Amino acid sequence: MDDVLVLCAKTALACLLIVAGGAKLSDPASFVSTVRLFIPLRIAWPWLSAIAVGVSLGELAVGLASLTLPAITALNALVFAIACAFVAASAMGYAFHRGRSCRCFGALSQRRFDAAGILRSAVIAGVAAVALAHVTAAALQLDTTTRMLLLAAAGLLALAAFTAARARSAGREPEPEVVAQ
């Protein structure tokens, strides 16, 4: 039962990273404006765009690797580090850019930097900590064919996230403004 819990945490986080990366890649231009909030230096737009695409691809790559290579424990630590970075970004966003859209899942989400966002990130970090727990080696044994099938399924998930984000972006309704003083 403990193994099931740990593996659920691990696969859920991998799927979360795949969905987040795939959705962000559908509209990197809007994610650039979030990246810009966290870079105080004056950087040319192409560089900001490259950073935004790099972050999205990084999330996607770590998610794919974590899902298809479960025996590599270093990936669990990497996912935990990324989850901690989410907490730090949420806290900084709450402190300095409260109310701004975080675009954490591209157009799939319209969440903003707020206290609930920090809590969500903390929960993700907690789940990542659970995924760090030891699992019996037998439970993680996968052959090459299985890995390829998992990779294909994960690719399908990324494609679905990309498409869903595109659909939401295309059909987004105009919303009234709320000025937060």
Partner 1 sequence: MKIPLYLAVAQWTLLFALGLLLIVVSRQLGRMLHKDHAAAPLGPAVGSKAASLEYSRFADDTVQYLTPGDGQPALLGFVEPTCPSCEQLVLALGTAEHTGELSGLRVLLLTSSPKSYLKVSDAFRATQLECGRILAPATTQAYGATSTPLLVAIDRDGVVRAAAPAIQLAEVRAFSRACLLPPNEGESIPIAAAAPPHENDLEAAAPAAGAD
The least distance separating partner 1 from the CB of residue 58, rounded to whole angstroms, comes to 19
Binding-site member from 20, 26, 117, 168 for partner 1 (CB under 8 A): 168
Q: Which residues pair with 112 in a beta bridge?
A: 101
Are residues 166 and 26 in contact, defined by beta-carbon separation less than 8 angstroms? yes
By the rule CB under 8 A, 109 interacts with partner 1: yes
Those residues with Cβ within 8 angstroms of residue 37's Cβ, 6 or more apart along the chain or in another chain: 93, 96, 97, 100
Query: Which of 19, 64, 79, 87 is close enough to bind partner 1 by CB under 8 A?
Result: 19
For residues 108 and 22, the answer to whether their CB atoms sit within 8 Å is: no
The angle at the Cα of 148, spanning 143 to 149, to the nearest 5 degrees, equals: 100
Residues 131-150 that bind partner 1 (CB under 8 A): 135, 138-142, 146, 150
**Smallest separation, CB 165 to partner 1 (Å):** 9
Report the distance separating Cα 80 and Cα 57, nearest Å.
17
Backbone angles phi, psi at 126, to 5 degrees: -65, -45
Smallest Cα–Cα separation from 98: which of 33, 21, 181? 181
- Provide, rounded to whole angstroms, the least separation between the CB of residue 111 and partner 1: 6
164 touching partner 1, by CB under 8 A = yes
- Enumerate binding residues for partner 1 (CB under 8 A): 3-4, 7-8, 11-12, 14-15, 18-19, 27, 29-30, 33, 36-37, 42, 45, 67, 70, 99-101, 105, 108-112, 135, 138-142, 146, 150, 153-154, 156-157, 160-161, 163-164, 167-168, 170-180
